């Protein structure tokens, strides 16, 4: 298939394809981080993860409209405000949902699956009633659109860079919060041994609520970022949910490193395969690979070593 192309063309296209792989990697990490926290640390299967993402997207949409109408001079930086607001909105909703629903189901982990699936349907219909069934076009400031041309073929998409930088920042922030802060130590203590953590004076129900809210908040940020590359509609969250679960489960549920390694493996496999064959087949082969590895290692790529 490479007949008739010069070496420099091929080099350029491989460089671009590598970059596409990195973008996909960032997208997968960003999608999966919030779920990894909720599923990995708390054992809650949050089927409404995609809807929390779309809440972030709708907040971004509303923020863009607000800036256009009231602060047109600042509209080139509205996106950063939107990301913060998306985090706050999704985290608040998350805290409320934990209080109203999830905390009653910690002893019945499979029921959280049904409850959050119901929640996702409720949220979808709420979005439809509030924002209408049609998709919303979120207008981006000019500097965020387009690409930086390096050569004829190599053109680096700006939104790809933004997603990568954002992912890096969020991942580092999550790492420090979970591994280096006192609150993170509490979360890990609760995950490893709930009664003991309670016995040493950790308020486990507050820790649960904050953990769930953090996971949802990160989903909100992801949704906000994805207005650059995807659609914003009542059911758009469904587009991400399968990939998100795949990344988290494949990585080994209880380990953030696992999530990152798994996102890297899946994204590279998929972009390389997509280049050599049709999109559908590439997806089938990627999923096949994931299933195969999970059969050999049911616990996922990385496992947290704790005494049970």
Partner 1 sequence: MINSLKRSIPSLKSVFTVAVAAFAFSQAAIVNAAPATAEVNTTGLAVTDDTVTVGILHSITGTMAISETGSTQAEKLAIKQINESGGVLGRQIKYIQEDGASDWPTFAEKSRKLLVKDKVAAVMGCWTSASRKAALPVFEQYNGMLFYPTFYEGLEQSPNVVYTGQEATQQIIASIDWVVKTKGVKTFYLLGSDYIWPRTSMKIARKHIAKLGLKVVGEEYYPLGHTQFNSVINKVKLKKPDVIFAAVVGGSNVAFYKQVKAAGIDWRKEKPLMLTISVTEDEVLGIGGENLVGAYSSMKYFQSLTNGNNETFVKAFKEMWGEDSVIGDVTQAAYLGPWIWKYAVEKAGSFDIDKLKLALPGIELTTAPEGYVKVHPNHHLWSKARIGLAREDGQFDVVFESEGLIEPDPFPKGYQ
User: What gap in Å lies between CA 58 and CA 62, rounded to an integer?
Assistant: 6
Q: Which is nearer to partner 1, 155 or 289 (CB)?
A: 155
Contact between 224 and 59 under an 8 Å Cβ cutoff? The reply is yes
List binders of partner 1 among 254-273 (CB under 8 A): 270-271
Verify binding: residue 3, partner 1, rule CB under 8 A.
no
Tell me, by CB under 8 A, how many residues bind partner 1. Answer: 51
Cα–Cα nearest to 251, from 293, 209, 195, 192? 293
Cα–Cα nearest to 54, from 36, 31, 81? 31
Contact between 56 and 88 under an 8 Å Cβ cutoff? The reply is no
Work out whether strand 147-149 and strand 155-157 pair parallel, antiparallel, or are unpaired.
antiparallel
User: What gap in Å lies between CA 283 and CA 240, rounded to an integer?
Assistant: 14
Print the binding letters for residues 199-238 with partner 1: x by CB under 8 A, - otherwise: ---------------------------x-xxxxxxxxx-x
Q: Which stretch binds partner 1 (CB under 8 A): 37-45, 82-90, 104-112, 141-149?
A: 141-149
Cα–Cα nearest to 134, from 226, 52, 63, 232? 232
Verify binding: residue 288, partner 1, rule CB under 8 A.
no
Q: Which stretch binds partner 1 (CB under 8 A): 10-18, 60-68, 110-118, 207-215?
A: 10-18
Contact between 22 and 162 under an 8 Å Cβ cutoff? The reply is no
Verify binding: residue 20, partner 1, rule CB under 8 A.
yes
User: What is the nearest approach in angstroms of partner 1 to the Cβ of residue 80?
Assistant: 19
Of positions 43, 72, 149, 288, contacts partner 1 by CB under 8 A: 149
> What Cα–Cα distance (Å) separates residue 197 from each residue in 104, 120, 188, 192, 204?
19, 32, 9, 8, 7
User: What is the nearest approach in angstroms of partner 1 to the Cβ of residue 298?
Assistant: 26
Q: Which stretch binds partner 1 (CB under 8 A): 17-25, 56-64, 82-90, 198-206?
A: 17-25
Verify binding: residue 69, partner 1, rule CB under 8 A.
no
Interacting residue ranges for partner 1, rule: CB under 8 A: 5, 9, 13, 16-17, 19-20, 23-24, 27, 125, 128, 133-139, 145-147, 149, 153, 155, 157-160, 226, 228-236, 238-240, 270-271, 274-275, 278-280, 282-283
């Amino acid at each position: 298939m490479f007949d008739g192309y010069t070496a420099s063309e091929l080099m350029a296209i491989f460089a671009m394809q590598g970059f596409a792989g990195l973008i996909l990697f960032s997208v997968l990490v960003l999608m999966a981080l919030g779920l990894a926290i909720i599923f990995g640390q708390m054992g809650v299967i949050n089927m409404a993860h995609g809807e929390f993402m779309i809440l972030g997207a709708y907040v971004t949409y509303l923020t863009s409209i607000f800036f256009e109408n009231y602060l047109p001079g600042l509209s080139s930086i509205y996106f950063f405000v939107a990301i913060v607001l998306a985090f706050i909105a999704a985290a608040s909703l998350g805290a409320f949902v934990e209080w109203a629903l999830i905390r009653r189901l910690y002893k019945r982990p499979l029921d959280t699956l049904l409850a959050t699936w119901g929640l996702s349907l409720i949220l979808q219909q709420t979005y439809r009633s509030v924002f209408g069934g049609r998709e919303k076009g979120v207008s981006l400031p000019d500097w965020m659109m387009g690409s930086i041309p390096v050569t004829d073929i190599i053109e680096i998409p700006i939104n790809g860079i933004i997603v990568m930088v954002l992912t890096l920042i969020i991942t580092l922030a999550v790492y420090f919060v979970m591994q280096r802060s006192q609150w993170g130590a509490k979360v890990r203590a609760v995950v490893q041994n709930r009664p003991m953590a309670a016995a040493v004076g950790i308020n486990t129900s507050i820790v649960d609520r904050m953990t769930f809210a953090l996971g949802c908040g990160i989903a909100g940020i992801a949704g906000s970022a994805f207005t650059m590359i995807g659609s914003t509609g009542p059911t758009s969250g469904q587009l991400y949910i399968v990939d998100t679960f795949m990344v988290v489960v494949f990585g080994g549920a209880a380990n953030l490193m696992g999530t990152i390694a798994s996102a890297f493996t899946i994204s590279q496999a998929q972009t390389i395969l997509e280049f050599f064959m049709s999109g559908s087949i590439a997806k089938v082969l990627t999923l096949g690979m994931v299933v195969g590895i999970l059969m050999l290692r049911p616990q996922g790529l990385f496992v947290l070593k704790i005494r049970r």
